[in-house]
Amino acid sequence: MPKETKKTEIDKTEATSAVEQPKPQKTNTLSVIGLISSFFIPLLGLILSIIGVSQASKRNEKGKGLAIAGIIISILNGILQLIFLLIVIAAVQNADIKLETYTNSNPDYTIAYPKGWTKEAENQLGAQGYIFKDELKNNTGKVYGQSEIIYLPPPSNGYSEDVLNAIRDSIKEKYNGATVTYESRETYKGLDSLRFVVTYNGENGKIKAKITVILNEDNSVYTIVTQSPEENYEKYSDAFDQIHNTFQP
């Protein structure tokens, strides 16, 4: 075969190879930006990554895997940031509740209650005590939180039954639709006590209350009750725990 013919065939082969060689795939820009944004601004990263997946598929571009990773990281990071935000909000709400101490002389006891709450005496059926309330917000007259300490003098003839359980049962009967959700019989500062949490139907919805009943050595009884509408209970929860734990008979 003549040399000229061979050269022509070689040139044709090289030209064909040059035409058939595919162009390198471009990486989708939004897929990259979406992945980076997912670490810092989850919502933006999620939106850009979703668009990146769509564009990479339609344009036959690289980066679809990066965009999918951006979607996953955006969702996980968003959930973590939401949890952190809820923790901060709860901490700020509880930090706003400052306690002060009330001291009673007859009978002798001290009890903590949130600063700014109103105090009023309560005497009924031979029992005496005080109620501390968080009320009159926005002039509605609605009670948002309440702490109550009641002292029951010792009976002259003692008790015919377990007084702590009897008080628990009487509270359940007193409150409409009461359900005990937690109960623990324990020793409190060397005295027999019963702690329980109860929910019941109030005038404007469910009420949640934490109650500690303490039997003194002379058979007198202290009852500490902290309560609020169920939806507000978590706001007061830490303060309520401190009230019960710092009570000094």
Q: What is the CATH number of the domain that holds 105?
A: 3.40.1000.10
More confident residue, 73 or 189: 73
CA–CA gap between residue 200 and residue 95 (Å, rounded) = 27
Assess whether 89 and 126 both reside in one domain.
Answer: no
CA–CA gap between residue 211 and residue 146 (Å, rounded) = 12
- pTM summary value: 0.57
Assess whether 83 and 14 both reside in one domain.
Answer: yes
Least confidently predicted of 20-24, 61-65, 79-83, 105-109: 20-24
Read off the pLDDT of residues 127-143 as tens digits, 9 standing for 90 and up: 677 888 776 454 444 55
Nearest to 28 by CA among 58, 76, 63, 66: 63
Mean pLDDT of 65-76: 93
Angle between helices 29-37 and 64-95 (to 10 degrees): 20
Q: Under DSSP, is residue 62 helix (H, G, I), strand (E, B) or coil? A: strand
- For the chain, give me the number of helices (H) and strands (E)? 6, 9
More confident residue, 249 or 89: 249
Assess whether 108 and 216 both reside in one domain.
Answer: yes
CB 114 within 8 A of CB 130: no
Which of 94, 124, 158 finishes a domain? 94
The total of structural domains in the chain comes to: 2
CA–CA gap between residue 148 and residue 146 (Å, rounded) = 7
Assess whether 226 and 159 both reside in one domain.
Answer: yes
3-state helix, strand, coil in the chain (%, to 5): 45, 35, 25
Nearest to 215 by CA among 237, 242, 229, 194: 194
Domain hosting residue 34, numbered range: 3-94
